[in-house]
């Protein structure tokens, strides 16, 4: 159809998509705070994408994250989620907002007027105009799917929350069960079993015994 001046329209927000987007956006703020706490305050946001299905966060850091660092960041975010931090929103003059400790995006033009500051109980405080959950517990949980380099000194994290995090956990459990069945072991013993197989496969074949032809002929 067409829209003309004076038309009366009904606006309806897709609640399911909005809910998922809110969770991923708030999780992005918590992820930013966790990265700065675990890796250091040199970490700066270098881009982000928030969708109903996932979140993507680019940040400045010169080295690949270790498995332990990824686990610590993920656990820290999930701890804040479980702690049920409340969201607060303030409209402040830009300089006052920055002086209060609110993180801003380098190079972003926030205009001359007041800016919107989104906080989660002292855990995270950023200049942001987007939609967010009222409490962190509404995020459910966050799981990091990947961490990689995308440019010199810039890395990227892909993550999921809510039902996306649940689906990831279910897929990983199914994969573990399938591998355990293939190796004819239990899920709790699958690592040890796989390590034994790899170790066994890496050993050189046993040398054939040397046959002394002269002694053989003498025996015959």
The predicted pLDDT at position 218 comes to 44
Question: In which band, very low, low, confident or very high, does the pLDDT at 203 lie, cut at 50, 70 and 90?
Answer: low
Strands 45-50 and 154-161 turn out to be: unpaired
Alpha helices of 13-161 — where are they, by DSSP H?
Answer: 15-39, 67-82, 94-99
Does residue 116 carry a pLDDT above 80? yes
Question: In which band, very low, low, confident or very high, does the pLDDT at 207 lie, cut at 50, 70 and 90?
Answer: low
- Please, are residues 37 and 171 in contact by the beta-carbon 8 Å criterion? no
Does residue 214 carry a pLDDT above 90? no
- Please, are residues 142 and 154 in contact by the beta-carbon 8 Å criterion? no
């Amino acid at each position: 159809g067409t829209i003309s001046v004076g038309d009366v329209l009904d606006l309806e927000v897709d609640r399911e998509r909005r809910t998922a987007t809110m969770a991923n956006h708030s999780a992005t703020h918590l992820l930013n705070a966790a990265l700065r706490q675990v890796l250091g305050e040199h970490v700066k946001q270098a881009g982000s994408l928030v969708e109903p299905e996932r979140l993507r966060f680019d940040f400045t850091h010169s080295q690949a994250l270790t498995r332990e660092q990824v686990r610590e960041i993920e656990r820290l975010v999930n701890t804040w989620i479980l702690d049920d931090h409340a969201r607060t929103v303030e409209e402040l003059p830009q300089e006052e907002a920055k002086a209060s400790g609110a993180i801003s995006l380098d190079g972003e033009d926030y205009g001359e007027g007041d800016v919107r500051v989104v906080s989660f109980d002292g855990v995270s405080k950023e200049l942001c105009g987007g939609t967010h959950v009222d409490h962190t517990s509404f995020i459910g949980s966050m799981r990091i799917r990947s961490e990689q380099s995308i440019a010199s000194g810039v890395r990227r994290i892909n993550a999921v929350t809510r039902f996306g995090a649940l689906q990831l956990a279910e897929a990983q459990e199914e994969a573990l069960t399938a591998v355990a069945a293939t190796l004819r072991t239990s899920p709790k013993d699958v690592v040890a079993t796989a390590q034994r197989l790899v170790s066994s496969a890496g050993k050189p074949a046993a040398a054939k015994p040397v046959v002394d032809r002269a002694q053989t002929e003498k025996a015959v």
